[in-house]
Structure 1
């Protein structure tokens, strides 16, 4: 699923030799001889560049092309979805039915929040009193969340519920305090982790019944939310630590190695990038907080971007190659 605040990086398959793929594990922590196998997503005909921005269960990926359009992959097959309404289109998330959400741009500015389903793009309604909207995440039920730009240049959390097509809701825990309210993610239970910013950044969980709970996480660096798992980075004892919380804001675990911008699945698996002993960079996998696999390394900080992860054992790197990694265990 979606990861928020992604950098727009061109993915050039020819750069693959820059990387070292590490097929072994960092420790024998998983049962049997489970491995991660690298694969490369193909480009649609006529395309020379693309980047992956999101992934979902069932072999789904979505990303952008150098032409400003949307590319969707399913089971390794690439499909060019084109540009919504002829405009540059940035996909931000995909779900396990292949529904893609994102935003269009007009005159270099965000224009419409869009969804691709049933073979076509549709513009999502802009809430009253707002100028533009962007769709940032979608769950398997089809609930879409994003932000809408208000007339006073404030941003509100925006929800397009699947159960009420054509309906749009805006949420701000306290408009007198927070000028920028956005989703970190929506999970499959319909809960939304909200980032609300003013002079400081606060986090809330909004439940499907509309109630909200404020969390005391002690950081503003939170990047992941799934199945009640919240993950981010804290600064403790003069160093950054990757931390996971539950829905009450209680610390569940800390990773044994700092992983920047972690992503989590619905179980106990975490992925992220970390620094190696030789000051390089690596894409790692953790089980219950313990580093178990190093998937790829690079001496360049721009060698690969932050990863996304699915519940059925797939990790994709948002970076300069269309790398994916698939988890498997012997029968």
Structure 2
């Protein structure tokens, strides 16, 4: 539901606003860092999906020998930062989880990927499928229980939505292979084009695709999060907010270069400032929050008091207390 987005943040201090930049009210709290639990024997972990409150899914395993990522990655479920479940094998894959604890993802049956739901002890149930699909997978779930994912055969790919209000059914939307970025509570789906040029689109509640318009003279847009019809990301070197029709609502000032996540009250978490850090943008003004070290934002909570992500290859949260 709260789709993951990772972008490196460097610096460990409260970021200074440019002269004349308006600021929102000073946060009446201190942001405290807590590293999440890693299963015994594992070294690192990564978050893929966050429900905005307590549950998160991802993987844990060993630090990759080269580059980033997790070696021998195994599905892991966290509840308020504590490990609830960790798979014994490389399957199933957990992709997302909602506030009711419903997990979605995929596994392999008869040499093909199938989309699944999963319980907290790792038991899986296949999602309904069209026999024409060669493979399919579930990537997003919202609190209503709507599920979105992908299906394909040798000749075609589809975005697939399994609606919560019609159990046992699915809707197919032909589309080129892309990355499924988010699913909001109203059922809109956000996708990120997989090409190097970027790009993004929203499948609106009327079943129509809305292409996100690049900002200014930019030729690309990179969306990262969707909530209540609001989309945030980057375009042309600026953090951008779009509406559900794909139109640019605003380009962020104050040196904010990317927008990563939207909180439950509409506050946006992004990156910018000097030195570069995590910033919160609220009500037309910027509040800089001191998140120390290198931090990758994965989600911003519904109550806007917790930012979850990854730091030093460990799932981590900063909580406002």
TM-score (normalizing by structure 2): 0.77
Deviates more, 1:219-228 or 1:32-41: 32-41
Residue 227 of structure 1 and its aligned partner are, at CA, apart by 0.9
2:152 maps to 149
**1:321 pairs with 2:317:** no
Gaps of 5+ in 2: 18-22, 62-71, 215-219
Equivalent pair of 1:205/1:213 in contact (CA under 8 Å): yes
Distance change in 2, residues 1:254/1:36 (3 Å): farther
Moved more, 140-149 or 211-220: 211-220
94, 117, 136: which one aligns with 2:139:
136
Give the C-alpha shift of residue 158 in structure 1: 1.0
> What is the CA distance between 1:243 and its match in structure 2?
0.8
Matched with 1:168 is: 170
Is 1:75 equivalent to 2:103 in the alignment? no
Partner residue of 2:207? Answer: 211
Tell me if 1:91 matches 2:94. Answer: yes
User: For residues 52-71 of structure 1, what are the structure 2 equivalents within 5 Å?
Assistant: 52-66=47-61, 67-71=72-76
Q: TM-score, normalised by structure 1?
A: 0.75
Q: Counterpart of 2:64?
A: none
Name the CA distance, whole Å, in 2 between partners of 1:171 and 1:309. 29
Q: Which runs of 5+ in 1 are unaligned?
A: 10-17, 173-177
- Aligned counterpart, 1:114: 116
Superposition RMSD in Å:
3.4
Q: How many residues align?
A: 296
Q: Distance in 2 between matches of 1:189 and 1:72?
A: 25
Q: Residue 269 of structure 1 corresponds to which residue in structure 2?
A: 267
Q: Distance in 2 between matches of 1:200 and 1:323?
A: 28
Deviates more, 1:262-271 or 1:190-199: 190-199
Structure 2 residue corresponding to 1:310, chosen from 274, 294, 301: 301
Higher relative contact order (CA 8 A, sep 6+): 2
Instruction: Output one character per residue of 1:185-226: Cα deviation in whole Å (capped at 9) or x when no partner.
Output: 21112222345789995623321xx53253452233111111
Structure 2 Cα separation of the partners of residues 231 and 272 of structure 1: 9
